[in-house]
Structure 1
Amino acid sequence: MTAQQNDPGLDPYLIISSDCHAGLPTEEYRPYLDSRFHRAFDDFLGERDARREEATRLGIRNDAFAAKWFHDHEEGLRGGWDTAQRLKELDGDGVAAEVVFPDADAVDSRTAAPFGVGLGLSGDQDPELGMAGAQAHNRWLADFVSEHPERHCGVALLPVTGEVGRVVAEIHRAKESGLGALMIPSMWVDKAPYHDRRYDPVWAAAAECAMPVVTHSGAAPRHEYGDHLGIYVSEVTWWPARPLWFLLWSGVFERHPGLRFGVAESGCWWLPNLLWFMDRLYLGAHGGKKLSPFAELKRPPHEYLDRQIFVCATNTKRRELAQRYEIGVDNILWGSDFPHPEGTWPDTRAWLTKTFHDIPVAETRRMLGLAAAEVFGFDTGALAPLARRIGPTPAELGQDDDQSAVEASWARSREVGRHWLTDHDFPTLGVTP
């Protein structure tokens, strides 16, 4: 028997990507769309070239990069909608299971869900067309994930700012069809913000169905930016994070303790300072004493975070891992972003080695898969044989066999943790802000 077989700590990782993407070539959604919307769908298809030209003009699309990307990855990119090719790509990356968001093509939007309700899902969409496009994608996605349900958690599109009864009905329909999570708009635009009690039946239905609610980066007020792309990229991860504090401070998490909420592909670098700030306000920091008590909350913000909130921290960075004891190790869910060019595919194994080489194995297992399994309901027992076959081992990620030394190297950061709660000095500056 090998040393690896003797020591489960050296077993291959069970990796679950909390952020992947799939979608049909847009024109192929027609069979999934109610026939009364076919004419509007034809109009939407006819506007694609104009949208692509506008993206090029604004600098969002780089023609040279796009040509090379599609040329170099033509076969693998078919995994955006072809199940057999997708499994081949996931296996190559060592990914046993995935959470599947819309829009496989993040370069030319060739796989955009009908009427732009994929990653651009927003409160400014026509309610009828928005729900029609969402349902078309959700129907296709349910078929797609049903071929290997143990490996995929499909994320249903949910235009939550529409008529509440229809929204709740779509939650139950999506659940019954085999989908496992819900993506809501990160922007409500001119509709009711998420602190409005009109949404309570939606949050209740999501909790009842055990379907996590997630926002995802993509939507932003692009009409405000002109051709200044730097403004867009500076804000695009802020919009999906914004609903978090609307839900938290308005008591949604208190009223619906079974609701799970996540922010996808927006990093988690912003969370430690936000959590520090919110906790201090709630716990009576000097600057918050003049404010009325936060009657909607029965506990400090960090307790809601640990109980109900998670971050699908796609392409998790070294800086973010260094802050994991403030964020909470179990609140960080790694993602590959397959098959988007800003993701780790097709070099995920090398990327994991570069990023996780000095992180304790037990914590790596949580962030790379086990935490996501708990949030999204994956059966780790069913995935274990596959993980043993395709998953990288700790040694392959460059992680030291002597875990006691690795643990010791992080002991001070772990002890400090959330420094505003532990009364330890701030780990970087040596002061307690």
Structure 2
Amino acid sequence: MDIAASKARDAFDAASVHASSAAGDEVKPLGYLPISADSHITEPPNTYIDYIDPKYRAIAPRVERNEKGGDVFVVDRMDMKIPLAGTAAAGIDPKEITLDGATFEELHRGGWDGEARIADQERDGVAGEIIYPTVGMLLCNHRDPDYKAACFTAYNRWLQEFQSAAPGRLYGIGQTAVRSVGETVEDLRRIREMGFHGVMMPCEPATEFDYDDPRFDPVWQAAVELKLPLSFHILTSGRDAGAGVGHVAGQRGKSKANMFQGLIRANQDVISLFIWERIFERFPDLKLVCVEADAGWAPHFMYRMDHFYNRHRFWAKIGEMKKMPSQYFRDNVYLTFQDDFIAFLTADLMGEKQLMWANDFPHSDSTWPWSRQMLARQTGNLTDAQRKRILRDNVVELYNLPVTEGAA
């Protein structure tokens, strides 16, 4: 192995260690504060009960104490119970992370208290966060679209109050159940009116036809007109329905690690759908955010799409596209990631304008409160301009955030 290859391997090995290993590192100020493109709330026990349509109150998602003394969210007609311990394990030593035993009172208060959240941001050195749900992710997989819609409406009401605690630091993403095209268009308008900065959609709609159907065109047109990016988060596909307890549909083997490896696949399928079915070709200003599925895989994914187009489009009857598939990826798709050294390393290949770093607070995969130290380790190959774009500028431009420069 030559010297260059050896250094590259050493850098990979060093970056592969969890962010917590960088806790003691000294870091130089960036001159600005990053903004997390994907953070979460921890739904408090009253989120759905207090804010849901009274028709559903008796069966609204609720918190119960399990036999191990931990709190879990119980959702009507979903076998899986969602343990709160795993949803708010940011900052915990990897050896101490567990899915059992924690009560709601023991979790990060910043998961549901806006003022406490600002203190958490200060500790991690971030200027703001794009806010996604936790229980609401897995509710995307509920088989009753009416129940799902009622839960999302309740969540949006709660989230509007949460982000009002610090409107210049907390930027909520609303949810829609996609029960019908017309209702989804109205949901998008309501989400914008509520002051949210984007819309989170399940990877599969509740309609009898998929997103590639031209009947969805009014939704894409509304998203463009309202300047609402479409977010597709991991764990929001039917294949991920059991992921909260470590298993997904179609998983091979018994290892929970295999489940973790497979979480990005549904998001990749959505991206392919929007590119190959020419949704981006028809709506060139439409923006899609692939949330928490990492990004280091993207250069090969883009290359593979171009290969298929160049080599196989004739027998596959793909037809001519106005741009190469990889260019639609660059122009219309954004990717959020937290601990992904390869994403930084290959930024030149995919284009740094589509990458958005996130701290994923307060989830177990979070880099909080060591984000500054981890970023210092992983972004050494970037220019200052590239680093600032990935850590801050891209998310500001995509969501048109009213933020000031700030200082590190």
TM-score by length of 1: 0.74
AA matched with 1:301: P
Identify the residue that residue 304 of structure 1 maps to in structure 2: 328
C-alpha separation between the residues in 2 aligned to 1:324 and 1:24?
34
Give 3-state SS (helix, strand or coil) of 1:100's partner. Answer: strand
Aligned length: 355
Please report how far the alpha carbon of residue 188 of structure 1 lies from its aligned counterpart in structure 2 after TM superposition: 4.6
Aligned mate of 1:14, from 10, 14, 33: 33
CA RMSD of aligned residues (A): 3.2
- Give percent identity, aligned residues only: 26
1:45-95 Cα offsets, whole Å, 9 max, x none, are: 698469898678xx9999962389959x947x1101101110001011111
Q: Give the 3 Å change call, closer, same or farther, for CA 151–192 of structure 1 in structure 2.
A: same
Identify the residue that residue 203 of structure 1 maps to in structure 2: 220
C-alpha separation between the residues in 1 aligned to 2:54 and 2:277?
40
Identify the residue that residue 182 of structure 1 maps to in structure 2: 199
AA matched with 1:276: Y
1:256-311 Cα offsets, whole Å, 9 max, x none, are: 122100101111122111111212333x23x444332435x321122222322110
Identify the residue that residue 255 of structure 1 maps to in structure 2: 282
Aligned mate of 1:130, from 148, 159, 164: 148
Identify the residue that residue 79 of structure 1 maps to in structure 2: 110
AA matched with 1:350: Q
Identify the residue that residue 54 of structure 2 maps to in structure 1: 35
Aligned mate of 1:350, from 347, 351, 373: 373
TM-score by length of 2: 0.78
Please report how far the alpha carbon of residue 356 of structure 1 lies from its aligned counterpart in structure 2 after TM superposition: 1.7
Aligned mate of 2:97, from 65, 70, 77: 65
1:1-44 Cα offsets, whole Å, 9 max, x none, are: xxxxxxxx976123110000014313343221111111221789
C-alpha separation between the residues in 2 aligned to 1:68 and 1:383?
41
- Structure 1 unpaired stretches of 5+: 1-8, 104-111, 113-117, 392-433
Identify the residue that residue 338 of structure 1 maps to in structure 2: 361
**2:316 equivalent to 1:291:** yes
C-alpha separation between the residues in 1 aligned to 2:200 and 2:284?
19
Identify the residue that residue 216 of structure 1 maps to in structure 2: 233
Q: Give the 3 Å change call, closer, same or farther, for CA 91–174 of structure 1 in structure 2.
A: same
C-alpha separation between the residues in 2 aligned to 1:69 and 1:48?
13
Identify the residue that residue 384 of structure 2 maps to in structure 1: 361
1:162-221 Cα offsets, whole Å, 9 max, x none, are: 122221111111110101101111245884222112221211111111010011112415
**2:162 equivalent to 1:141:** no
Question: Over alpha carbons, which structure has the higher Rg?
Answer: 1
Identify the residue that residue 271 of structure 1 maps to in structure 2: 298
Please report how far the alpha carbon of residue 359 of structure 1 lies from its aligned counterpart in structure 2 after TM superposition: 2.4
- Structure 2 unpaired stretches of 5+: 1-27, 66-71, 242-247
Structure with higher helix content = 1
Q: Give the 3 Å change call, closer, same or farther, for CA 302–21 of structure 1 in structure 2.
A: same
Q: Give the 3 Å change call, closer, same or farther, for CA 180–66 of structure 1 in structure 2.
A: same
1:320-347 Cα offsets, whole Å, 9 max, x none, are: 2121111111111000001112110111
Is residue 175–residue 201 contact of structure 2 (8 Å, CA) maintained in 1? yes
Q: Give the 3 Å change call, closer, same or farther, for CA 126–280 of structure 1 in structure 2.
A: same
1:105-147 Cα offsets, whole Å, 9 max, x none, are: xxxxxxx3xxxxx112436531111111011111111121123
Q: Give the 3 Å change call, closer, same or farther, for CA 251–312 of structure 1 in structure 2.
A: same
Q: Give the 3 Å change call, closer, same or farther, for CA 126–68 of structure 1 in structure 2.
A: closer
C-alpha separation between the residues in 2 aligned to 1:217 and 1:334?
16
